[in-house]
Amino acid sequence: MVTRIAIIRHGSTSWNQAGRLQGHSDIPLDEEGLEQARKLGLRLAGETWDIVCSSHLIRARQTAAIVAEQLGIDSIWQDARIGEAGGGLIEGTTEAERLEKWGPDWKQQDLGMEPNAAVLARGMSFLEELLAAEPGKQIVLVTHGSFIRQMLAHLLPHMPPPPPMKNTSITHLEFLDGKWECPLFNCIEHLETAS
């Protein structure tokens, strides 16, 4: 019995546009993000989905709400375990600001960022619970770019390291007999067609 998950990065925010790292900062979708979510919902409405799950952060919740409405799904499972990786002191900063403030080795410094191991531990805890509770279901999971990349690198170690995830991109994961497959990656076809 295959469990199918569409793992989706939320729509665009003003901080995405400005190149600011969001982390746990609770930034809403901008106008473009709302439109991206609408196009995503229309695309998914042509398919069969049973459950919509969302991070607790507003940019993911707004994206998930638009999608769930298009799918005719009344309730959204919300869980902080699939929230974005915490950015600590670098939240709200651009790459240029980080370089100016902490220098080129800022990634090696202790700036209060959530460790990868902690992100993976909470993400895997959520996923294992979901798979046990809803085997064989078709699940939409709305979450965040860095979180998705860390999870994919862990679940699919044979794949090259994932590039940055695009806003409202869809990545399909299939779980069967204890193994993960990824038949679709970082797809934004719904944003590339006229609506």
Edge-to-edge strands of the sheet including 179-187? 76-78, 51-54, 138-143, 3-9, 170-176, 179-187
Q: Residue 162 — very low, low, confident or very high, per pLDDT cuts 50/70/90?
A: confident
CB 122 within 8 A of CB 86: no
Cα–Cα distance for residue pair 81/10, rounded to 1 Å? 16
Helices and strands counted in the chain (H then E): 7, 6
Closest by alpha carbon to 9, among 43, 31, 37? 37
Read off the pLDDT of residues 136-151 as tens digits, 9 standing for 90 and up. Answer: 999 999 999 999 999 9
- Residue 124 sits at φ, ψ, to 5 deg, of -70, -35
pLDDT higher than threshold 90 for residue 195: no
Residue 155, CB half-sphere, CA atoms under 13 Å: how many?
27
Q: What's the whole-model pTM score?
A: 0.95
In sequence order, which ranges of the chain are alpha helices (DSSP H)? 14-18, 31-44, 58-71, 95-102, 116-133, 145-155, 189-192
Domain annotation for the chain: domains and CATH numbers: 3-192 (3.40.50.1240)
Read off the pLDDT of residues 166-176 as tens digits, 9 standing for 90 and up. Answer: 999 999 999 99
Token pair of 169, please? 């991109």
pLDDT higher than threshold 90 for residue 44: yes
Supply the pLDDT for residue 132: 95
Catalytic center residues: 10, 84
pLDDT higher than threshold 80 for residue 193: no
What does the DSSP assignment read for 92-105? T--HHHHHHHH-TT
Rounded to the nearest angstrom, the gap between the alpha carbon of residue 2 and the centroid of all alpha carbons in its chain is 21
Token pair of 19, please? 């190149």
